[in-house]
Chains A and B, each alone.
Chain A
Amino acid sequence: KAGVTQTPRYLIKTRGQQVTLSCSPISGHRSVSWYQQTPGQGLQFLFEYFSETQRNKGNFPGRFSGRQFSNSRSEMNVSTLELGDSALYLCASSPGQLEPHEQYFGPGTRLTVT
């Protein structure tokens, strides 16, 4: 079974631009969560989508948004990029059952904002 895939793997943008990142979960998984990882803050939860609905949201500004499609693939968008948005963005998929035991992480998208 294929793992979680994320595209692109690396991205360089300038301040003020916007960016869209994509995540394809493991086949059959319906829950996709997004995390931001930085050296100073560690892994921080952005949001979770389940069956095309946002189920949870972290403490990030409204510039960070996401969506999920009917095939469970998810995208996240960051508008008006700031230097501090430079980070590794990870998505994780899980079956989405009431008590999942594991989340499987993708390889991440490394975003650099200059």
Chain B
Amino acid sequence: GQNIDQPTEMTATEGAIVQINCTYQTSGFNGLFWYQQHAGEAPTFLSYNVLDGLEEKGRFSSFLSRSKGYSYLLLKELQMKDSASYLCAVRFTGGGNKLTFGTGTQLKVEL
């Protein structure tokens, strides 16, 4: 199978840092995406990793280790508006644009 695993829920404090982990099966890996989805809205693209290492984009960073089948999304200086579901998605070879999604991590940012 091509299971994508991520925690169901996380809670963090405004201004803090939170790390959301994602693990996947390594066979056929061809890129990993992170999306943010607010309730009732469409997913919006956050980051893309295909090589090992850290990709930084403002307050958000994403890390990938292909050998371990592991990625994380790091959110710094948390704001209330960051409360949302964060979706990890993997593209596998031979699948064209097909993305296999995890069930999402619901992040709640508290005061």
Contact = CB atoms under 8 A, between A and B. Distances in A.
B98 A56 contact: yes
A16 interface: no
Contact of A101 (B35, B42, B43, B48): B48
Interface string A54-95: 011010000000000000000000000000000000101010
Interface on chain A toward B: helix, strand, loop, or mixed SS? strand
Interface residues of B, number: 21
Given A42-B103, A56-B98, A94-B97, A105 B48 contact: no
A103 B42 contact: no
A56 to B, nearest CB: 5
Which of B96, B97, B99, B104 has the most CB atoms of chain A within a 10 A radius of its CB?
Answer: B97
Interface of B: 31, 33, 35, 41-45, 48, 87, 89, 95-104
